Structure 1
Amino acid sequence: LLISFPPSKAPTSAIKALKGRSAFIFLRRHPEIRQSQYWGGHLWSPSYYMSTLGNMSKEVVEQYINNQKYNETKKRPNGR
């Protein structure tokens, strides 16, 4: 996942917002998950890993991500 946010925004705030909103949307659509004993009512673990692009351009990272999707599709027998 490649995201961009203003430098004035703390990275932890960006991740918290992303995880919080995505969990809200997913759990609203699948309320049975919230009740599951395996999930404990949570979609995401409290941890995360984040890295900066460093000296790579955004385009290089986007190309890498897109190639991962392409390579994964090639591995599947039906191409899906």
Structure 2
Amino acid sequence: MRESTYIHKSHNVSVLMYHFVCPAKYRRVVFSDEVDQSLKNICLEIEKRYSIYFLEIGTDNDHVHFLVQSVPTQSPTQIIKILKSITAREIFRQHPEVKKQLWGGEFWTDGYYVSTVGKHGNEDIISKYVREQGVEKEYKALHKAQQLALF
């Protein structure tokens, strides 16, 4: 597994990571060893052309998990559009039997799952880090979201 790194651009440094889960259309079992290998190779080619870096790719017969790192100028929506469109086109081109399994339609479902991933910890750890950044440790919280009570 590749490890995340700080991405240095002209005016910012970032370490933005996302976990995407993309189901195959109709939740069909379309991933085989050959399709898995093609998917991996396609993703590594995407890395060369876009600011999208694959930290991990995993398949589970009918869906794929992508752990990716990108830059602030690309939203998660832009990342997933690039990822889904290129991988679908190339898998159909390289594996016509998959297109047949999906009745000549789309490769991915329309939806997906996305979650941010932290390099240095979870929400509580980051919150503690922010509180302790004051010059004399006099942090004052101006707002803290609370879970809403139903009744």
TM-score normalized with structure 2 length: 0.33
Which structure has the highest strand share of the two? Answer: 2
- Percent identical residues: 35
* Whole-angstrom CA distance in 2 between matches of 1:35 and 1:51: 32
Which structure has the highest helix share of the two? Answer: 1
1:9 is the counterpart of 2:74: yes
1:7-29 CA-partner distances (Å, limit 9, x unpaired): 11111010010011111110001
* Whole-angstrom CA distance in 2 between matches of 1:33 and 1:52: 31
* Whole-angstrom CA distance in 2 between matches of 1:30 and 1:42: 13
* The structure with more radius of gyration: 2
* Whole-angstrom CA distance in 2 between matches of 1:34 and 1:51: 29
* Whole-angstrom CA distance in 1 between matches of 2:116 and 2:97: 36
Shift of 1:33: 3.0
Q: Letter of the aligned partner of 2:109 in structure 1?
A: S
Which runs of structure 1 show a deviation greater than 3 angstroms over 4 or more consecutive aligned residues? Answer: none
Match of 2:119 in 1: 57
Gaps of 5+ in 1: 61-80
1:19 is the counterpart of 2:84: yes
* Whole-angstrom CA distance in 2 between matches of 1:57 and 1:35: 40
Q: Say which structure, 1 or 2, has more relative contact order (CA 8 Å, 6+ apart).
A: 2
Match of 2:99 in 1: 34
Shift of 1:32: 3.4
Partner SS for 1:9? coil
Count, aligned residues: 55
Partner SS for 1:52? strand
